Structure 1
């Protein structure tokens, strides 16, 4: 579905997305969601690797691919050919932003490195995403989310005490790297308004993975050892986490001492736990959690979830059910917010495909899904004609040679 982009924040910005898999495409999708025109370059035969990952959608897409490629056009180019490289270079001349996550040195071998492209387009914002510091001894190492989750200490802080290291349920390092990259590109676009010149942004998965250890990371440095793992509980706040009611799990977040007192008196009807000196303050509750939590667990398990949620809400304590993933996506809350959309698709049985909507609202309006995630190469002819002015004959010759 196409929408007029002229009123969107990044209207008029053109992005050449040479990246694949997750971190790079996620950052490109962020720019596309905000109104940029994003041209995604893919191999003519196989496309982005994620077109072959997970649940199939139509002939060329998957749920994995679709999750990071809405609001883009797909242009197929064989970048191993001189013709494909020249077309990519010509496209870059017309673009404000280039995103790439080739292996170290790969973009330069293809004639698509920053130095080459910025000579022709000094205003170009060029974002390189790699696994590790591009100036360090591991610059050539490939970067994978799961590897970095291990190396950055994220697995060590995740999961239950006494259990093996545990990865996040999603590729958290890739996704955060994509968001950090988008932030950097937006900052560079803003700066360009003052200076008239572009920037070379260098992002590394390991750097971003280490950053998202956040307070856990600082506590490890201050304490001289890894903090304990608490699973669904909070390392510093008690009670705060997932608890079982008589008929299912719920989340309870008691954030301060007055909430704790109301929790004890009005929710579980145990004023003695509010008056107990061992539990008066949060620091004391965290220190004495081994004595407190069994009492709370017993009380919560004796009551139905609906009753607890009603009492918690009345007491002003943040709480909620633990929903299944599909249940959350189909919830009235998600529907009312317009977070799950249905987009036309010519190659599915229903003629549609579900696509998540961007999270941002500007002046009360959610950023639109202007384009469903693209079929492989759906925009090749249109982009080459409208952006580079190629003729039908020239495009046909490229197709015959396998360049597109």
Structure 2
């Protein structure tokens, strides 16, 4: 196998990333990972809001910012000025894709709305990300992940039975919205390659949040009420969840009746459970969950995790340790897979950056550019893409545009 990095699918595609925080930047980063040139536009003074969130790295980056901004170039541009708006429009005219998540009407206020840009670039693929339907009565409401998690019913399905509403540990709605937006952009790009038109893609956090409810949402409609909460257990497959061995937690995922029979006889030495008519089918196990699950918990609690994992694996039953976050990131699996990289940093010395999660022709795409310092590429991008002279750049900088 060649050690050369294969040409990435979006090589030659330019993205103008006017977004900030998470959903838009995650979308732009996914396109960057696939080979696109991504120019991230930030305010000269403060930059992306997430440059001030969480743990600091260097002077202008944080762990939060770095999680959504690898493989990008950062330029500073004050879109509140006429010169800044003109530069943004010139960049959009030379781009394939524009991503923005300004408050409703903000893009038009800054002269970078879809209708304002398509005149100069009819083939432009333009993605607007908002909190709610841009054609509905809530169009002007700002969108925040936690608010959407509450309104979309997501906090109602998390946690244990009787527990108060609980959010996801990460900003799941923002992240899913970013990935759904990437899908839509790639579909539009593919269609454009076949001679199709430019497109205005509109994404709403609430729409994507509702999609995440998946089978829980459909069950709620069937029941005409909220389904029960099951915490770390599965609503319809038993035993399937997190269990405590004598020396630590582990995942056991018994996916079918044959696996359950092997689990009872070969793992926990309880053939009586396998022979019990109440438990022979998954539907039966679901109906008699309260009688079966305590028995399983008790049997697993009496055994060492290593022994259980060996027995489960020998029986062909999916299983695994439950690791801490740091343990997972430092695991042999993550290191051998090249999922955690260390990138040079001019102030911090180095910074950890996660790698793209996919492979092409057996190779993972590299982190071509570490998350950028604020405005790190302003002059280089404006010289190369727009051909601005050093004198013009100095003039713009003196006026506070850059």
Q: TM-score, normalised by structure 2?
A: 0.98
Q: CA deviation at 1:7?
A: 1.2
Cα distance, 1:5 vs structure 2 = 8.5
User: 1:244 deviation in Å?
Assistant: 0.3
Matched, 1:331 2:315: no
Question: What is the CA distance between 1:220 and its match in structure 2?
Answer: 0.3
Q: Residue in 2 aligned with 1:294?
A: 294
Q: Does the 8 Å contact 1:91/1:387 carry over to 2?
A: yes
**Residue number in structure 1 paired with 2:350:** 352
Displacement of 1:34 after TM fit?
0.1
Q: Identify the residue that residue 393 of structure 1 maps to in structure 2.
A: 391
Q: Structure 1 length normalisation: TM-score?
A: 0.98
- Residue 278 of structure 1 corresponds to 278
Give the corresponding residue for 1:382: 380
In structure 1, the partner of 2:42 is: 42
Kept after mapping to 2: 8 A contact 1:250/1:321: yes
2:82 maps to 1:77: no
The offset of 1:195, in angstroms, is: 2.4
1:344 Cα shift? 1.0
Q: Distance in 2 between matches of 1:6 and 1:197?
A: 29
Matches within 5 A, 1:20-169: 20-169=20-169
Q: Which runs of 4+ in 1 moved over 4 A?
A: none
Aligned-residue offset at 1:6 = 8.0
User: Is the 2:173–2:205 contact (alpha carbons within 8 Å) kept by the matching residues of 1?
Assistant: yes
CA contact (8 A) 2:5 2:365 kept: no
The 8 Å contact of residues 5 and 35 in structure 1, kept in 2 or not, is answered as: no
**Which residue of structure 1 aligns with residue 315 of structure 2?**
315
Distance 2:201 2:40 in 1: 19
After superposition, what is the alpha-carbon deviation per residue over 1:118-164, rounded to whole angstroms, capped at 9, x for unaligned? Answer: 01000100000000000100000000000000000000001111010
CA offsets 1:91-124 (integer angstroms, 9 cap, x no match): 0000000000000111011110000100100010
- Alpha-carbon distance in 1 for matches of 2:361, 2:5: 15
Segments of structure 1 that go 5 or more residues without pairing to the other structure are: none
In 2, Cα distance between the equivalents of 1:150 and 1:367? 36
Q: How many residues align?
A: 400
Displacement, 1:197?
2.2
| Residues 157 and 229 in structure 1, CA contact (< 8 A), matched pair in contact too | yes
**8 A contact 1:342–1:353 mirrored in 2:** yes
| Corresponding residue number in structure 2 for 1:199 | 199
Secondary structure of 2:35's counterpart equals coil
**CA offsets per residue over residues 337-359 of structure 1, 9 Å max, x none?**
110011111110xx211100001
Q: Distance in 2 between matches of 1:342 and 1:223?
A: 49
- State the Cα RMSD in Å: 1.1
Q: How far, CA to CA, are the matches of 1:5 and 1:12 in structure 2? A: 15
- Report SS of the residue matched to 2:119: helix
